[in-house]
């Protein structure tokens, strides 16, 4: 079957078998290996990507089911705040040491992004519920939760700063002219 899937803002057209999994489409056909594959049982959640903004386990989605939809992978996470800037969630994982081996990290960050998009100020419980379908084998979720909390705080500060910023001065003023 010939399908077109929008991945990280770009359309990709490929011939695929009907049984082809989205995780294989991303990793093997598009070479987007930031999406990890950790089990054969739909349990680990390391393969999470966003489909139309919602987290899905890409090992449980057929590539043909993604046709006509928007997929976002970890490779498309930077740039949320403009330019090549890291997404606040990515920054949070750095600041709060949210990754150890890094295997679960792409999926965790994408789930964090989806959560903050629909709820910019989640409670700790809401964060824990959001990532509850994903396993971290490296012990403990505390730093992952803290990373998402850091991102929420950072986003709120950035939004407040943008609101408080004075409107741009007229060009004549900037040039030292008088009106
Ligand atoms: S690879 Fe484990 S749930 Fe998808
Ligand atoms: S950081 Fe190693 S599995 Fe989560």
Q: What is the pLDDT of residues 127-161, one digit of tens each?
A: 999 999 999 999 789 999 999 999 999 999 998 99
User: In CATH, what number is assigned to the domain containing residue 54?
Assistant: 3.10.20.30
Does the Cβ of 44 fall within 6 Å of ligand 2? no
Structural domain for 122, as ranges:
88-160
Which of 42, 56, 61, 62 maximizes ligand 1 atoms within 8 Å of its Cβ, making it the mutation to test the pocket? 42
Asked if residue 156 and residue 94 are part of one domain, the reply reads: yes
CA of 21 to the centre of ligand 2 (A): 23
Question: Ligand 2 center to residue 45 CA distance, Å?
Answer: 11
Together in a domain, 125 and 70: no
In a domain, 145, yes or no: yes
Number of domains in the chain: 2
Q: Is pLDDT above 50 for 173? A: no
Q: What CA–CA distance (Å, rounded) separates 107 from 99?
A: 11
| Pair (7, 62) in one structural domain | yes
Distance, in Å, from the CA atom of 144 to the CA atom of 93, rounded to the nearest integer, reads: 7
- Whether the CB of 44 sits within 6 Å of ligand 1: yes
The CATH number for 98's domain is 1.10.150.120
Contact status, residue 112 vs residue 131, Cβ threshold 8 Å: yes
Rounded distance between C-alpha atoms, residue 101 and residue 154, angstroms: 25
pTM above 0.75, yes or no: yes
pLDDT tens digit sequence for 45-84:
999 999 999 999 999 999 999 999 999 999 999 986 667 7
Residue with tokens 């930077």: 78
pLDDT at position 82 is 65
Q: How far is the CA of 33 from the centre of ligand 1 (A)?
A: 14
Query: What is the edge-to-edge ordering of all strands in the sheet holding 48-51?
Result: 10-15, 2-7, 70-72, 48-51, 54-57
Does 6 share its domain with 67? yes
* C-alpha 105 to ligand 1 mean position (Å): 13
Q: Is residue 171 scored above 90 in pLDDT?
A: no
Residues in the chain: 179
Report strand pairing: 2-7 vs 48-51: unpaired
Predicted pLDDT at 176: 46
Q: At 178, is the pLDDT very low, low, confident or very high (cuts 50, 70, 90)?
A: very low
């Amino acid at each position: 079957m010939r399908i077109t899937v929008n991945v990280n803002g770009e359309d990709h057209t490929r011939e695929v078998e009907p049984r082809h999994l989205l995780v294989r489409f991303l990793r093997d056909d598009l070479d987007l290996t930031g999406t990890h594959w950790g089990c054969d049982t739909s349990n680990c959640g390391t393969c999470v990507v966003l489909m139309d903004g919602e987290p899905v386990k890409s090992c449980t989605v057929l590539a043909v089911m993604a046709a006509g939809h928007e997929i976002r992978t970890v490779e498309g996470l930077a740039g949320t705040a403009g330019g090549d800037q890291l997404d606040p969630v990515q920054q949070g994982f750095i600041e709060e040491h949210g990754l150890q081996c890094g295997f679960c990290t792409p999926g965790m960050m994408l789930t964090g992004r989806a959560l903050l998009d629909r709820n910019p100020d989640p409670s700790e419980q809401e964060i824990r519920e959001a990532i509850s379908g994903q396993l971290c084998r490296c012990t403990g979720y505390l730093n992952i939760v803290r990373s998402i909390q850091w991102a929420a705080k950072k986003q709120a500060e950035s939004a407040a700063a943008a609101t408080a910023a004075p409107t741009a001065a007229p060009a004549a003023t900037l040039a030292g002219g008088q009106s």
